[in-house]
Amino acid sequence: MRDYTNLDIEHILPNNPAHNLRNDFISKSPGKDYDEYKQRLGNLTLLEKPINIVAGNDYFKKKCDLYKDCKYYLTSSIAQLKVIGINSSINRINKKLMSFNDWNSGTIEKRQEILIDLAKDVWKIGYI
């Protein structure tokens, strides 16, 4: 059970993509540099090691099913927001998060904004 709690930094846009995956990103994000976007904060998340191994360098849509199994909500919410009860902490954080259907430069930028806003809120600072 100990290995399950080991976390990896997951590159949602893979670190070592197949040629067609890189081309798919370029066609959906003209003029954007794949290698720059794969390193952006908005493209990174924490994922349990066994799930990360299975996710590998696959397309976002295939990884989403695996993200749903992550026990860390900041990661699982990428694929799907959950509604639990009335005025629960999950429902309140959902107002600051969003799930995604596609993964391109625009969604990476949007998720990065979300993460920066969360950091500002958590650490009670007005800027980063």
Q: Give the pLDDT of the chain (128 residues) as one tens digit per residue.
A: 454 568 999 999 999 998 999 999 999 999 999 999 999 999 999 999 999 999 999 999 999 999 999 999 999 999 999 999 999 999 999 999 999 999 999 999 999 999 999 999 888 876 55
Selection from 5, 86, 79 nearest residue 48 by Cα: 5
For tokens 């349990």, name the residue.
Answer: 48
What confidence score (pLDDT) does residue 4 get? 53
**Which residues on neighbouring strands pair with residue 7, listed in sequence order?**
48
This prediction's pTM? 0.90
What confidence score (pLDDT) does residue 2 get? 54
What confidence score (pLDDT) does residue 122 get? 87
* Tally of CA atoms within 13 A in the half-sphere of 118 that contains its CB: 16
- The residue type at 60: F
Continuous H helices in the chain:
19-28, 34-37, 49-55, 60-67, 73-79, 89-94, 105-122
Measured distance CA(25)–CA(57) in Å, rounded: 13
Residue 98: CB atoms within 10 A of its CB come to 13
